[in-house]
């Protein structure tokens, strides 16, 4: 019987490595142009901001009104001298004082209530989780619409607040209480913003220091003052910065409630500027109000941001 001899199998030759295609050659001109192309949106945004701003500054040195709109005369610092003169009928002092009162009251109360609400929502309970979802509802309502609803609630004759609180015919929008009523509406709308921001800060804190303090039988007040408050202070300051600057520019809530009245009880800087720009058609004088408001907001923002930087350094354990 003949035996069949099998030839040994030849080793498989490995496949030839795939040659990668060379990257496209980019010319030196295109490489050098890329940074400039990427900066085009930022440049356009800056131009869109600076052009109206510079135009507004120029307008403050002119006497632009409805009758001199095409060729306004150059008046120099007369607009500033008039609105800053205490003896002038358009003195800015009262509107500035009303604006500062509104901003300080609303910001302080919203911050205190927001921190308190955030501490309550930090508890993992069913009611807390439900309330956390409901809390955001006031932020979803336009301030003008919310102020309109509250205006009906403030009505002395058929308002629901007087009926529920048993206040009779109390006038919420009188000379002495209109500003505080506007602040109340602001608090109702924007306290959830502070609470949500502070709550996010609380939930981002490390748990180890609090667990160690609990082992040492530290009380909740001690842990809040010594541990939590220094760590969440930057978050609180961020909320304060946003709310205080926004309150300095307030217009919609007091204007919808009272139109700046009764008299000038709720006439803020924005309402004063609106009355001159739109109603009286004194364009240069109204723009002067807005420029002074911008200076006030700019100085306040710089001071608060400086305080925020120091608070962040302390929270991180860095030396000032």
Residue 2 has phi, psi (to 5 degrees) of -80, 135
Does 153 map to a domain?
A: yes
Does 76 map to a domain?
A: no
**pLDDT, average across residues 290-294:** 91
**pLDDT, average across residues 3-16:** 57
Which DSSP category does 224 fall into? I
Does 137 map to a domain?
A: yes
Q: pLDDT tens, 226-273?
A: 888 888 898 999 999 999 999 999 999 999 999 988 888 999 999 998
pTM of the model: 0.83
**pLDDT, average across residues 103-115:** 95
The whole-number pLDDT of residue 247 equals 93
pLDDT band, residue 106 (cuts 50/70/90): very high
**pLDDT, average across residues 65-83:** 87
Query: CA 301, CA 36: separation in Å to the nearest integer?
Result: 31
Query: CA 41, CA 315: separation in Å to the nearest integer?
Result: 35
**Does position 95 have pLDDT exceeding 60, yes or no?**
yes
Percentage with pLDDT > 70 across the chain: 89
**Does position 183 have pLDDT exceeding 90, yes or no?**
yes
The whole-number pLDDT of residue 15 equals 64
Dig out the tokens for 251 from the structure. 């217009």
Does 240 map to a domain?
A: yes
Closest listed residue to residue 267, CA positions, set 100, 146, 135: 100
The whole-number pLDDT of residue 9 equals 56
Does 165 map to a domain?
A: yes
Q: pLDDT tens, 118-141?
A: 988 887 677 777 777 788 888 889
The whole-number pLDDT of residue 320 equals 45
**pLDDT, average across residues 2-6:** 53
Whether 250 contacts 293, CB under 8 Å? no
For tokens 């002038």, name the residue. Answer: 88
The whole-number pLDDT of residue 256 equals 94
Q: pLDDT tens, 197-233?
A: 999 888 888 887 777 777 777 777 878 888 888 888 9
Q: Three-state DSSP class for 214?
A: helix
Whether 179 contacts 255, CB under 8 Å? no
The whole-number pLDDT of residue 90 equals 79
Give how many domains the chain has, as a whole number: 1
Which DSSP category does 276 fall into? I
If you average pLDDT over every residue of the chain, what do you get?
85
Does 259 map to a domain?
A: yes
The whole-number pLDDT of residue 122 equals 83
CATH number of the domain at 164, please. Answer: 1.10.3720.10
**pLDDT, average across residues 170-185:** 93
Does 88 map to a domain?
A: no
The whole-number pLDDT of residue 16 equals 58
Q: Tell me which range, 159-168, 187-196, 209-218, 301-310, is most confidently predicted by mean pLDDT.
A: 187-196
Whether 102 contacts 250, CB under 8 Å? yes
Does 46 map to a domain?
A: no
Q: Go through the chain and tell me how many residues it has.
A: 320
User: What residue numbers bound the domain in which 133 lies?
Assistant: 95-266
């Amino acid at each position: 019987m003949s035996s069949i001899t099998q030839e040994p199998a030849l080793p498989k030759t490995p496949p030839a490595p795939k040659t990668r295609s060379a990257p496209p050659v980019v010319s030196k001109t295109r490489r050098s142009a890329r940074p400039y192309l990427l900066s085009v949106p930022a440049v356009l945004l800056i131009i869109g901001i600076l052009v109206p701003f510079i135009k507004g500054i120029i307008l403050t040195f002119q006497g632009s009104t409805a009758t001199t709109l095409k060729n306004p005369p150059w008046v120099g610092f007369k607009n500033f001298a008039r609105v800053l003169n205490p003896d002038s009928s358009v003195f800015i002092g009262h509107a500035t004082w009303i604006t500062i009162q509104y901003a300080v009251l609303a910001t302080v109360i919203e911050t205190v209530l927001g921190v308190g609400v955030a501490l309550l929502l930090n508890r993992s309970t069913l009611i807390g989780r439900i309330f956390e979802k409901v809390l955001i509802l006031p932020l979803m309502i336009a301030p003008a619409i919310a102020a309109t609803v509250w205006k009906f609630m403030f009505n002395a004759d058929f308002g629901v607040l007087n009926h529920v609180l048993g206040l009779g015919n109390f006038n919420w929008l009188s000379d002495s209480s209109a500003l505080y009523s506007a602040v109340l509406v602001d608090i109702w709308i924007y306290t959830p913003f502070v609470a949500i921001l502070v709550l996010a800060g609380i939930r981002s804190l490390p748990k180890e220091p609090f667990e160690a303090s609990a082992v040492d039988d530290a009380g909740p007040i001690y842990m809040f003052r010594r541990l939590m408050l220094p760590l969440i202070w930057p978050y609180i300051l961020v909320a304060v910065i946003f709310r205080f600057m926004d309150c300095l520019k307030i217009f919609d809530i007091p204007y919808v409630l009272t139109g700046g009245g009764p008299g000038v009880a709720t006439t803020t800087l924005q309402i004063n500027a609106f009355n001159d720009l739109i109603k009286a058609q004194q364009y240069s004088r109204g723009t002067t109000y807005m420029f002074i408001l911008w200076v006030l907001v700019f100085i306040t923002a710089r001071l608060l941001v400086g305080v925020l930087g120091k608070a962040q350094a302390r929270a991180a354990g860095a030396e000032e």
